[in-house]
Amino acid sequence: MFFVNYLRITNYGFKAVSDTIMKMKKYYLHREAVPLKVAYEEDLNPEQHAAVMHESGPALVLAGAGTGKTRVVTYRVARLIETGTPAENILLLTFTNKAAREMMRRVEYLIGKNIFGLWGGTFHHIANLFLRQHYQHAGFRQGFSILDREDSRELFEACLSDISKRDAVLPKGAVLSHINSLAKNTGLSICDSIARQFPHFSAVADEIEKIVLQYEKKKLKLNLMDFDDLLIGWKAIFENDATIREYYSLKFTYILVDEYQDTNRLQADIIDLTTGTDRNVMIVGDDAQSIYSFRGADFENILTFPDKYRDTVLYKLTTNYRSTPEVLHLANKSIIHNQKQFHKELHAVRGPGELPALVPVKDVFEQAEFVASVIMDLNTDGASFDDIAVLYRSHYQSMEIQMTLQQRGIPFEVRSGLKFFEQAHIKDILSFLRIIANQHDEISWKRVLKRIPGIGNITSGKVWTLIQDAEQPLQKIADATAVVPKKAVNGFNQFLDLLRALCHERYSTAPADAVEYLLRNGYEEYLYNTFPNAEMRIEDIEQMIRFSERYDSLEVFLSDLTLQGVSEAEEQAAETLDGRVVLSTVHQAKGLEWKIVFMIGLNDGRFPSSKSLKNGDEEEERRLFYVGATRAKETLYLCYPSSADDWQAIGFLRPSRFLRELPDDCFEEVVVEDV
């Protein structure tokens, strides 16, 4: 094929190549039809078939949950190739390379031949292929290296050391990297990016801008690109070089974009720039499942697509193959309350099943006991643990569930992160408490010492050597100032003040007060300065405070938490052929399905979250509820605690507005007896 050397395109050879492209396009448009191998009408339902058979021009395929989105994309590519479009003229953009590989494998199976040459993969994957040929137009040199997230963090740390003021309280490299990435992907300035997600750093925004500028200069000097540079480079070249842009817009005669509702502003701009004059771009997605604004995804991209492409043909996939009519009825009646959407109603292929169960419980502890008891009953009745998922809005809501499942011997895996007490920030807090309870705990001493800026393995070892033989190490620790580096003295002195405060007698009988004191007197600031997801970590610790209120002994509290875990060997021994229950946030569960789904913590202020309500994001939270509900194939439990277990709250929690607005025919209320 004439595209074998397409990557060798130069400005001088563009006209000849483009003329050849136009001739080939005419050939493929006017040649005689060939028999098709794929039985499109037999394999697809009418909605899917209509989208796959789309002839030309822009198309928006609204693919509801469980309606066969991947099937449509796969058959669309197969049809294009079977009807004469060379594979190398197709650009397939997905959100994981695995998804692209699986789609292309299915296409090859369908049409019975290799589709080598098709450009398929993530935006970053395609951008890398593109920039390997056109690096000089982006200001880089041949052989550039790509920084991963950890590399980017380390380079920001180096820039921080180079130019930051000693007296400024500045975020660590991971946070700086996140601020910079957010700005690039949303088109915001650094200052606006800080104001949107990191307002606690507004006072040092100018300093952060200087560090970001230094970071960008260093990358150019060292011939390094980070992930965001790949997309920035792709867009910049197409904006500034009409010849290259025209070549690729002619080359990619058909563009398909999967999960378009998850694109950010930068990715949407790239698609618009790459789309040729024929505008044969098909985007596939579901506005009702747009839930990733915190990552920079822009809901307006899919909502306004028909406004940008005025002759867009709209296809709706509404035939759901996953869930029962009862589950879909609840989901439909929920999402209808959103004003900004393309209205559609999912219809079930499956036969009737059970009404979703609405489960009011007293508090999070009764909620956990209810979930565990029902799971045990389901398993006894033949359900596999693999068929069951417990979904929640935020990771901290899984704490009581994890502990109760462990107590009951129910195998589970946490998809939303590490198990609660394996998380670094939880282990930090527990290390402080263990020092107070047991002054000779070497592991805990070294862990908390290394949280002090300027103290690493060597210094923490020296401090421990100095205090380890003392009868009361807490009384000896002040002498260790002599072995602490000068740059760490201020932090070490603050650490000493914290330890002295924690030695107060009341903290031995009030672990909740001890945890709160640790959080509010230095550790909260440490989290904000160190982690992009500081707020999620703070939520975890606040949930730990609520849990610890049940204890009046620090020693018993620590013992119980330690005994909650099981060793890796014990876990493996306890594992059954029935698999594991999945614990996950709804965000992590998108795209997955289970026979039985529990959605927990459905209260205003928690789901929807208080932050989203404050920021006016109620409709995205409702979409999140919709995504959670449509994960269930057969059985759906909707649980909400009524008592305020929040250490800041008084009285009762309101059921989520997403429950209150549902008609009565959407669910059956379950009365929880003693479990």
Task: Cite the active site residues.
Answer: 69-70, 258-259, 289, 631
Query: How far apart (Å, rounded) are the C-alpha atoms in residues 169 and 388?
Result: 46
- Contact predicate 242/236, CB 8 Å: no
Residue 13 neighbours by CB distance under 10 Å? 12
Q: What is the CA radius of gyration of the chain?
A: 28
- Contact predicate 401/368, CB 8 Å: yes
User: Residue 385 burial by CB count (10 A; 0-12/13-18/19+): exposed, middle or buried?
Assistant: buried
Per-residue tokens: 412 = 């589970």
Per-residue tokens: 223 = 């011939």
Please report how many Cα atoms fall inside a 13 Å half-sphere around the Cα of residue 286, on the Cβ side: 25
β pairing state of 388-392 and 59-63: unpaired
Length reported for the chain: 675
Residue 390 neighbours by CB distance under 10 Å? 28
Please choose, from the candidates 262, 373, 179, the residue with its C-alpha nearest in 3D space to the C-alpha of residue 620: 262
Query: How far apart (Å, rounded) are the C-alpha atoms in residues 261 and 295?
Result: 12
β pairing state of 412-414 and 581-585: parallel
Please choose, from the candidates 266, 373, 351, 337, the residue with its C-alpha nearest in 3D space to the C-alpha of residue 657: 337
Please name the helix (run of DSSP H) or strand (run of DSSP E) that holds residue 28, with its range, or none.
helix 14-30
Residue type, 29: L
Find tokens 């502890």 and name the residue.
365
Q: Positive or negative, the Cα torsion across 544, 586, 178, 460?
A: positive
